[in-house]
Amino acid sequence: MTLMFETKNGEAGWHQRSSVEELAAQALRVVSSKQCNPNAKGVDPRTEALAMSVVADDPNLRRATMSELMESGVSPNAFIHHFAGDAARYLGQLWSDNHVSFADVTIGTARIQEMVRQLVARRAPNRTDAGPKVLIAVPLTEDHVLGGLIAADAFDALGCMTRVMIGRSNTDIARIAKAEQFSMIGLSISSKRTVSGARQLIKELRDTVINRVPIVLSIGTMTDDDEIKALTGADIVTSDPRAAVAFCNLRNLVVG
């Protein structure tokens, strides 16, 4: 199949679907051979295999890739907190280099999100009723929700009672934040491009929630954290759940 697409530079180009399938199969063969050293681009072959499999049209290839990843020693926890995000970022880099279309990135990331959802659903939360209540929200301005799912699982693993809100309006998020006594509110955005949406949500949270609850902002790309903090009004900008719980002084965690 040959698809017409618009490149990052706005130019029309031809995307050979068959070449994607071939690259995905090649990447899978590398993983199957247990050669997991970074390639010439500095990318773990397992990350490359996962990224290529989710943009391919063959569901059997995706299942085979997941199977090989697990057999190579990748645990569900490692997949959720490392490989899923790495593969999504690698897709973004491929798009930036005009190797895949924006549609490929969107579809591929959605498939990675579904893999994460399935793995998270199979795991029992590592928490008790005494754990701190945490709200993880993905602003409505966000296209992808992978970061929010990964963050929620991480806080669950630390023993928090985590509530996730995805695709909800700022008003809805602020209403829930006001109605429930959360010890921390975490917001997940994908890049600096959507900082304005996060700033608007944080302002509404500050105006609505009477008790000042610490707001943690996680951003998927490398940024100047102090700059993002100043731009949004967040209390801390970090992608490290342990740093977040330490900053917010959360208690009664299952793990230290």
Query: What average pLDDT score do residues 144-152 get?
Result: 79
Which residue, among 3, 4, 131, 154, has the nearest Cα to 81 in the 3D structure? 154
Say if 117 falls within a structural domain. Answer: yes
| pLDDT for 47 beyond 80 | yes
Residue type, 93: Q
Residues 7, 113: one domain?
yes
pLDDT per residue as tens digits for the range 71-117: 677 777 788 888 888 898 888 888 888 888 888 888 898 899 888 88
Residues 98, 32: one domain?
yes
Burial class (CB in 10 A: 0-12, 13-18, 19+), 56: buried
Domains identified in the chain, total number: 2
Say if 239 falls within a structural domain. Answer: yes
Give residue 8's domain range: 2-122
> Where residue 96 sits, what CATH number does that domain have?
1.10.1240
Residues 118, 137: one domain?
no
| pLDDT for 3 beyond 50 | no
Say if 255 falls within a structural domain. Answer: no
Residues 105, 150: one domain?
no
Residue type, 234: A
Higher pLDDT residue, 130 or 113? 113
Residues 24, 94: one domain?
yes
Which H, E and C letters describe 200-232, residue by residue? HHHHHHHHHCCCCCCEEEEECCCCCHHHHHHHH
Residues 112, 28: one domain?
yes
> Where residue 224 sits, what CATH number does that domain have?
3.40.50.280
Looking at 122, 149, 175, which one is the last position of a domain?
122
Say if 128 falls within a structural domain. Answer: no
Say if 35 falls within a structural domain. Answer: yes
